[in-house]
């Protein structure tokens, strides 16, 4: 919808890495039994992806699915499709205890791209980002300095970071600071 604006409206910064507001993405919190065949089937049908294992994200033709807790998944789909997907989930899971809710607008999303991306993130998140330790398809809920965040690495080597919308500006400024051109650590890149 033309009225909808992401938190930093597409802002970007280039330093040690390129940090950019990824714009609006569709996100759905789905709580339910990961082992349920119905749940697995509907997740697959709306995203094309399998239910991921712990600390993983899986990708499909129409979206991605991230592991949040033992009974919670985060579905990433097209922003315009969210309501339709929530409706499909609710319909398919009507017979099971579950909760599917649109959280697309509650989030700010950023991409962190470049050779030094691991090092930049390792300045603010207590995660082992040494080569081979955090690989494409890994997903982590953690903190970025003072705020809650989640991130994953895609096949192209780009990190994707998600936080709450209200602190999106803090996240962008934090990543900008960590990506200051003269602050290279030089252990991974």
Partner 1 sequence: MSTRLAKQGRLIDRSKQVEFSFNGTKLKGFAGDTLASALLANDQMLVGRSFKYHRPRGLVASGSEEPNALVGLGVGDRFEPNQRATTTELFSGLSAVSQNHWPSLNYDIGELNSKFFSRFLTAGFYYKMFIHPRPLWKHVYEPFIRQSAGLGKAPNKELKDADTYEHFYFFADVLVIGGGVAGLQAAKTAAASGAKVLLLEEKSYWGGRTPVDGGTIEGLEAEAWVEKTLNELNAMDNVTIRNRTMASGVYDHGYVLGYERLTDHAPGQGGPRHRLWRIRASQVVTATGAIERPLSFAGNDVPGVMLAASMRDYLVNWGVTPGKKVVVATNNDDAYRTAIALHEAGVEIVRLVDARESGGGELADKARELGIRVECGRAIAKVKDGKRVTKVAICAQNGEGGAREEIEADAVAMSGGWSPVVHLWSHCGGKLIWDEAQAHFRPDPERAPTSHDGNAFVVTAGSASGPLSLSAVMADAAAAGAKAAEAAGRPAQSVAAVETSEVSEAPMEAVWFMPAKADIQLRMKTWLDYQNDVKVSDVQLAAREGYESVEHTKRYTTLGMATDQGKLSNINGLAVLADSLGAEIPQVGTTTFRPPYHPISMGAIGGEARGEIFQPLRKTPMYEWHDKNGADWEPVGHWRRPFTYLRPGESKHDAVNREVKNTRENLGLLDASTLGKLIVKGPDAGKFLDMLYTNMMSTLKPGKCRYGLMCSENGFLSDDGVVARIDDDTWLCHTTTGGADRIHAHMEEWLQTEWWDWKVYVANVTEQLAQVAVVGPNARKVLEKLNAQAGGGMDLSKEALGFMEWKDGEIGGFKARAYRISFSGELSYEIAVAASEGQAFWDALMEAGKEFGVMPYGTECLHILRAEKGFIMIGDETDGTVIPQDLGLHWALSKKKEDYIGKRAQQRSYMDNPERWQLVGLETVDGSVLPDGAYAVGQGVNANGQKNTIGRVTSTYYSANLDRGIAMGLVKHGPKRMGEVIDFPGLDGKIYKAKIVDPVFYDKEGEKQNV
- Binding residues (CB under 8 A) for partner 1: these are 1, 3-7, 24, 29, 31-32, 71, 97-99, 101-107, 119, 122-130, 133, 145-147, 164-167, 169-170, 173-174, 177-178, 180, 182-185, 187
Query: Apex CA 156: angle with CA 154 and CA 160, to 5°?
Result: 40
Output 157 or 180, the one with its CB closest to partner 1: 180
Shortest distance (Å) from residue 145 CB to partner 1: 7
Shortest distance (Å) from residue 126 CB to partner 1: 5
Output 59 or 122, the one with its CB closest to partner 1: 122
Q: Measured between alpha carbons, how far is 22 from 7 in angstroms, rounded to an integer?
A: 10
Q: CB burial class (10 A; 0-12, 13-18, 19+) of residue 31? A: middle
Q: Measured between alpha carbons, how far is 38 from 41 in angstroms, rounded to an integer?
A: 5
Shortest distance (Å) from residue 177 CB to partner 1: 5
Shortest distance (Å) from residue 16 CB to partner 1: 10
Output 22 or 59, the one with its CB closest to partner 1: 22
Shortest distance (Å) from residue 142 CB to partner 1: 10
Output 94 or 156, the one with its CB closest to partner 1: 94
Residue 128 CB neighbours (<10 A):
11
Output 12 or 90, the one with its CB closest to partner 1: 90
Q: Measured between alpha carbons, how far is 108 from 150 in angstroms, rounded to an integer?
A: 11
Strands 72-77 and 139-144: unpaired
Q: Which residues pair with 147 in a beta bridge?
A: 144
Output 40 or 145, the one with its CB closest to partner 1: 145
100 near 93, Cβ under 8 Å? yes
Shortest distance (Å) from residue 105 CB to partner 1: 4
Distances (CA, A) of 171 to 7, 117, 151: 11, 15, 12
């Amino acid at each position: 919808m033309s009225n909808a604006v992401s938190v930093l409206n597409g802002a970007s910064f280039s330093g040690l890495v390129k940090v950019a507001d990824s714009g609006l993405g569709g996100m759905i919190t789905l709580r339910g039994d990961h082992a349920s065949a119905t749940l697995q089937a509907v997740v697959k049908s709306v995203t094309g992806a399998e239910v991921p294992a712990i600390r993983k994200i899986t990708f499909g033709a129409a979206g991605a699915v991230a592991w949040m807790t033992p009974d919670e998944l985060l579905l990433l789909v097209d922003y315009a499709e969210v309501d339709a997907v929530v409706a499909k989930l609710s319909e398919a899971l009507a017979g099971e205890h579950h909760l599917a809710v649109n959280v697309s607008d509650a989030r700010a999303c950023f991409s962190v791209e470049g050779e030094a991306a691991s090092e930049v993130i390792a300045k603010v998140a207590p995660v082992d980002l040494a080569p081979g330790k955090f690989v494409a398809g890994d997903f982590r809920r953690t903190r970025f300095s003072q705020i809650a965040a989640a991130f994953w690495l895609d096949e192209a080597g780009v990190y994707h970071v998600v936080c709450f919308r209200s602190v999106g500006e803090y996240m962008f400024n934090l990543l900008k600071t960590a990506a200051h051109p003269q602050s290279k650590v030089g252990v991974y890149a």
